[in-house]
Amino acid sequence: MSEKPIDGLSESFTRDEYISPEIFATEMKKIYGTNWCFAGLSESLSKIGDRLVVDIGDESILILRNRENELRAFYNVCQHRGSQLCDASGSGFGAAITCPYHAWSYSVEGNLIATPLHEKDSIDRSAISLKPVKVAQWQAFIFVSLDPNAPELIDWLESHYSRPLQLEKFDMASLKNARTTVDEVQANWKVLGENYSECLHCAVVHPELVDLVPIYKTGSTTQTDRPDWGVSLAEGATGLSYKQNENLPLLPAMDEIDDYSVFGAYVYPNMLIDISPTVAVITRYVPRSATHTTIFTDYLFPKDAVDNPDVDLEPTISFSDLVNQQDISVCVRVQRGVASKSFTRAYHTKMERYCKQLIQRYRNEIS
């Protein structure tokens, strides 16, 4: 039975959608199994033999480059008797991917090329190959889609409600990762996504951040006078950092913008891009269960800054991590609350309009 609408509020997710293992399984199939998902940084595959092993939905995916530097992705499953091929990202698998069980080997194109202890012609190797997955790169980022009929990545990004292509001007492929942090968070991935999509909480939860980004005090994440979707820093502030005027190099195109500014996008379902004058903070959600998400955060700076030992990136990284931990702490608190049997569903106010876009897209995909 549907509930009576409440003036000023629209319906968000239900209690079950935050905690049910069955609904989580459906999400992995219908959302993480169909969308393009952010899988990792392109720089993790800079050498022949490098591999990325990532969980997308409930699948493990192996990503690599062939000798022509083209990306290839496969389900991380040996086609002999199903052993997982690679345990973790890393480098140096050489010219072939060798299964740790009976040492069948596959080329980087996924073809079966060796079956030890068997005469060469005793098995029709041409009939067996790794199962491919769609993979593509945008800027510094590798995406995969488990849907063989997924649109081209660039078209998917183009039509995305958060308009990530607007951030191309910052040439993120030219940046270098200075650090990756990993947080195991006891919260549903949608709790994290909703939290990112609104700033009603900013004045309460992020006092340090709103001092540097005054519009956030009002609960808004946009400025009506900024058609570029940028948000201006406070008078005298030069970056999101514990130290101001610290002489870090600006990201590309930042010097063409009148104010020191920040930009952001939630590339639903599993990526956040946060641009500020000197750093691009890139977040990847890996949902583990209805109540557990792993968050990977990369801190990308201009290469010169990362390679110069005299440049201190710590005040910038730790400021961003402070905000991240503040968000994590409220999301864990929400997850505990929504699990209560007294709770039926969450609501959005008019000011949480990006949450509404998130839920609209979710409803379309899950139905």
Q: Can you give the binding site for ligand FES, defined by CB under 6 A?
A: 78, 80-81, 83, 99, 101-102, 104
Given Fe ion, ligand FES, none, residue 78, with its beta carbon under 5 to 8 Å by kind, binds ligand FES
Give the integer Cα–Cα distance in Å for 353 and 197. 8
Given Fe ion, ligand FES, none, residue 327, with its beta carbon under 5 to 8 Å by kind, binds Fe ion
Q: Which residue type does 365 have? A: E
Residue with tokens 């007294």: 342
Residues forming beta bridges with residue 296, ordered by sequence position = 182, 284
| Minimum CB–partner distance for residue 116 and ligand FES (Å) | 9
Stretch that binds Fe ion, among 48-56, 149-157, 286-294, 321-329 (CB under 5 A): 321-329
Whether residue 104 contacts residue 78, with contact meaning beta carbons closer than 8 Å, is answered with: yes
| Minimum CB–partner distance for residue 14 and Fe ion (Å) | 23
User: Which is closer to Fe ion, CB of 298 or CB of 327?
Assistant: 327
CB atoms within 10 A of CB 170: 20
Whether residue 43 contacts residue 52, with contact meaning beta carbons closer than 8 Å, is answered with: no
When asked if residue 194 is in the footprint of Fe ion (CB under 5 A), the reply is: no
Handedness of CA 62, 271, 274, 226 (dihedral sign): positive
User: Which is closer to Fe ion, CB of 157 or CB of 328?
Assistant: 328
Instruction: Pick one of 17, 198, 274, 327: the residue that binds Fe ion (CB under 5 A).
Output: 327
| Minimum CB–partner distance for residue 104 and ligand FES (Å) | 4
User: Which is closer to Fe ion, CB of 329 or CB of 360?
Assistant: 329
Site map (CB under 5 A) of Fe ion, residues 268-287, x = contact: --------------------
| Minimum CB–partner distance for residue 29 and ligand FES (Å) | 25
Given Fe ion, ligand FES, none, residue 104, with its beta carbon under 5 to 8 Å by kind, binds ligand FES
Residues 348-367 that bind Fe ion (CB under 5 A): none
Give the integer Cα–Cα distance in Å for 251 and 261. 11
Whether residue 202 contacts residue 216, with contact meaning beta carbons closer than 8 Å, is answered with: yes
Which residues, 6 or more positions from 88, have their beta carbon under 8 angstroms from its beta carbon?
A: 53
User: Which is closer to ligand FES, CB of 101 or CB of 343?
Assistant: 101
Nearest to 364 by CA among 88, 34, 19, 9: 34
User: Which is closer to ligand FES, CB of 102 or CB of 288?
Assistant: 102
CB atoms within 10 A of CB 15: 17
Supply 217's token pair.
């005090």
Site for Fe ion, rule CB under 5 A: 327
